[in-house]
Structure 1
Amino acid sequence: MYDARGDQCDSCGKLLNATDLIKPRCKLDGNSPITRDSNHLFLDLAKLQPEIEKAFKKSTEEGKWSANGIHITQSWLKEGLRQRCITRDLKWGTPVPLKGYEDKVFYVWFDAPIGYPSITANYTDEWEKWWKNPENVKLYQFMGKDNVPFHSVIFPASEIGTGENWTIVNHISTCEYLNYEGGKFSKSRNVGVFGNNAEATGIPPSVWRYYLMSVRPETSDSMFTWNEFITKNNSELLNNLGNFVNRAIRFIFAKYDGVIPKADFSGKLEADLIKDVNVLLKQYVETMEAVKLRSGLGIAMAISARGNLYLQEANLSNVLFDETRPKCDAVVATAVNLIYLLSAIISPYMPAIAESMCRQLNAPLRNIPDELSIDILPGHVLGGAEYLFTKIDEKMEEVWKGKYGTGSG
């Protein structure tokens, strides 16, 4: 690959040394690197391979690994593990606490996973209940596919090598690559939108969370495009979820002074809704248990869409309130309870939106139930109406593409 970096190929994900490159050069001054002898520490992966393979087999049989995570790890094991250098001649990083190595630091992907238990230990003195309790704790890890070997081979090897009873990864959920506008993200080339750029757009974090999860490259590479980003905000978030919540709650304030009426839920429309939602809810739970996060979000939005269909079929309106009050009572009472369910299943993706929904309902955050239940009871007073989302001007596509580059440029 042209312009490959000295640690990893962006195209195939292979780990590299600078000496593996054809005509290597320094990005800053263009000079060619000079090789020299230096003493380093190595992790003897070959010695640990049988135990690593045993742990890998157990985890993949019992856990929910993405297919590419399994394939990448299998290819490493099949090729045969070799000694892996875990130190670097750099000024920044974690210093090596060993005599004779004071001027060296640990290689980041040896050191970083060890930070997981150390961060936990900084949070609680009971950290071993999590990290040295494999019989009762299941470790889920999420990453891009280029980081798989560090978590499926090197980090488990570090744990196994201590001879102690560490919690070893049970589930690895890996992604393919998220590309940008027909090409690749490149911070060094100022192509793509990154965290500081996302903040600068003024678009709320919930919208970013939704979009990125909806295009999460779980099975194949996916593409970030500003056109799709804007469309998903306006068509899915605003017109689906936002419309359902806003329409129901504002109607209750307009006609019921924000108070939930007593209702009969035995009508056909209500029975059909409850049946359909419970089918979707079961699918949602099964999908989330299988760590298929993108599909789970799709099901959550399907439940919201079913709520919109219910309001449309019931014809929630002033006419319904004036002419068929008992039916209207059932519709608004059913709708707020569906909103309460939606707040729970949306929460893993957009916690701020879930909090807004619960504020509007004047109800506490809740766990995800097994079935749609009636938890917002007659006489309950809602908290107030808020807009969950706002429309993004479609003209902003060209503005943002011009500001943050295009991958094909």
Structure 2
Amino acid sequence: DGKTFWNESDIYHFIGKDIVYHHYLFLPAMRLGINNEFKLPDYIPTRGHLTLEGKKISKSRNWYIGLKDFLEKFPADYLRFYLISINPYSQDDLNFDWEQFSTKINSELIGNLGNLVNRALGFTTKAFDGVVPEPESFDEKDSESEKKIKSLADDVGKLMQENHLDRALKQLMEFSAHFNQYFQHKEPWKKGPGTNACIFLSVNAVRSIAICLHSFLPKSSQKIWSQLGLEGNVSDISWNEMSELKLKAGHKIGTVEPIFSKVESSDIEKEQSKLGN
């Protein structure tokens, strides 16, 4: 029932810094005065306020971004990625800056993570007809990358449990950056020794990313999951499975296409021109 579900769960109350007294003192006191049937929150992460282009958000001054308008132009996952990446584990205010938004999406999300997905799966399609190859014996670089996969669940999970969501996302992006560098170092397009191992590990790294990314960008993670040729919902996969190399030789990946679209400078200029007018 609802009572059991509540009391056996870890309860998090995410609040703004302006209502600390209410949630730390008044609400618990009221709850304790009524009954003890429902436990108090285990954690109350407190965050600062969101400003826009360095100014306080105000609808009357037309200094705000309407969510409906935003979603008509950009995917919801773009907003999720940006806000998580700039949201510190503190009560410091965070600022929505359109130029920074564009840079983070184009350079980090697309240039890093999207690039790895496209090059790993795209090369598998081009060079191996979309079939994961049988890897050769791992060299030092391969073994290092394998360890990255096997430690990802713990590395990101610890930060998530501590509510360091920005650091957790950064950890995932560093994982992606590592495999971009690994792919570049191995040069599989030259089809030399170690090509199969590179593709085998890179495709499995993309699978790990899909599982981990679901906590941050659910829509995008499902697209990656489908392009890997995997059935069902990535949300049904357990967290620790991201650190397992489950895509074996012979697995056929799906149709590969770009996951993300670039944010154009003209779009940013248009959004900036709306503010205050």
> Quick check: TM above 0.5?
yes
**Shift in alpha-carbon separation, 1:405–1:233, aligned structure 2, 3 A:** farther
- State the alpha-carbon separation in 2 of the partners of residues 190 and 263 from structure 1: 57
Aligned to 1:227: 99
Aligned to 1:108: none
The residue type paired with residue 397 of structure 1 is: I
- State the alpha-carbon separation in 2 of the partners of residues 250 and 130 from structure 1: 44
Aligned to 1:362: 229
- State the alpha-carbon separation in 1 of the partners of residues 38 and 159 from structure 2: 28
- State the alpha-carbon separation in 2 of the partners of residues 171 and 154 from structure 1: 16
Provide runs of 4+ in structure 1 moved above 4 Å.
Answer: 276-281
Tell whether 2:258 aligns with 1:387: yes
Residue 274 (structure 1) shift: 2.4
- State the alpha-carbon separation in 2 of the partners of residues 370 and 383 from structure 1: 20
Aligned to 1:192: 64
Preserved contact between residue 181 and residue 224 of structure 1 (Cα < 8 Å): yes
Residue 280 (structure 1) shift: 5.7
Could you tell me which of 71, 74, 86 is aligned with 1:215? Answer: 86
Return the structure number with greater relative CO, CA threshold 8 A, min gap 6. Answer: 2
Residue 370 (structure 1) shift: 7.5
The residue type paired with residue 122 of structure 2 is: R
The residue type paired with residue 37 of structure 2 is: N
Aligned to 2:272: 401
Aligned to 1:41: none
Could you tell me which of 201, 205, 216 is aligned with 2:76? Answer: 205
Aligned to 2:198: 331
Aligned to 2:183: 311
The residue type paired with residue 387 of structure 1 is: P
Residue 346 (structure 1) shift: 1.1
Aligned to 1:62: none
- State the alpha-carbon separation in 1 of the partners of residues 137 and 111 from structure 2: 26
The residue type paired with residue 62 of structure 2 is: N
- State the alpha-carbon separation in 2 of the partners of residues 185 and 265 from structure 1: 57
Residue 247 (structure 1) shift: 0.6
Is the partner of 2:180 in helix, strand or coil?
Answer: helix
Tell whether 2:248 aligns with 1:377: yes
Residue 174 (structure 1) shift: 1.3
- State the alpha-carbon separation in 2 of the partners of residues 181 and 383 from structure 1: 41
Residue 129 (structure 1) shift: 1.2
Structure showing the higher helix proportion among its residues:
2
Aligned to 1:341: 208
Tell whether 2:31 aligns with 1:159: yes
Is the partner of 1:179 in helix, strand or coil?
Answer: strand
Residue 288 (structure 1) shift: 1.0
- State the alpha-carbon separation in 1 of the partners of residues 144 and 88 from structure 2: 34
Preserved contact between residue 172 and residue 212 of structure 2 (Cα < 8 Å): yes
The residue type paired with residue 97 of structure 2 is: T
**Shift in alpha-carbon separation, 1:250–1:140, aligned structure 2, 3 A:** same
Give a deviation string over 1:315-347, Cα, whole Å, max 9, x none. 131x22xxx2x5211111101111111112111
Is the partner of 1:395 in helix, strand or coil?
Answer: helix
Gaps of 5+ in 2: none
Is the partner of 1:223 in helix, strand or coil?
Answer: strand
* Aligned CA-pair RMSD: 1.9
Preserved contact between residue 211 and residue 242 of structure 2 (Cα < 8 Å): no
Where does 1:11-90 land on structure 2 (aligned, <5 Å)?
Answer: none
Gaps of 5+ in 1: 1-125
- State the alpha-carbon separation in 1 of the partners of residues 59 and 84 from structure 2: 21
Aligned to 2:10: 138
Identity %: 29
Residue 303 (structure 1) shift: 0.5
Preserved contact between residue 261 and residue 333 of structure 1 (Cα < 8 Å): yes
Residue 278 (structure 1) shift: 4.7
Aligned to 1:61: none
- State the alpha-carbon separation in 2 of the partners of residues 199 and 336 from structure 1: 31
Larger Rg: 1
The residue type paired with residue 178 of structure 1 is: L
Give a deviation string over 1:237-292, Cα, whole Å, max 9, x none. 11100000011111111111111111135222211222345556533222111111
Give a deviation string over 1:49-103, Cα, whole Å, max 9, x none. xxxxxxxxxxxxxxxxxxxxxxxxxxxxxxxxxxxxxxxxxxxxxxxxxxxxxxx
Is the partner of 1:344 in helix, strand or coil?
Answer: helix
Preserved contact between residue 150 and residue 244 of structure 2 (Cα < 8 Å): no
Preserved contact between residue 282 and residue 370 of structure 1 (Cα < 8 Å): no
The residue type paired with residue 263 of structure 2 is: I
- State the alpha-carbon separation in 2 of the partners of residues 148 and 370 from structure 1: 37
The residue type paired with residue 21 of structure 2 is: P
Aligned to 2:4: 129
Residue 217 (structure 1) shift: 4.0
Preserved contact between residue 153 and residue 239 of structure 2 (Cα < 8 Å): no
Residue 159 (structure 1) shift: 2.0
- State the alpha-carbon separation in 1 of the partners of residues 243 and 140 from structure 2: 16
Preserved contact between residue 151 and residue 243 of structure 2 (Cα < 8 Å): no
Aligned to 1:296: 168
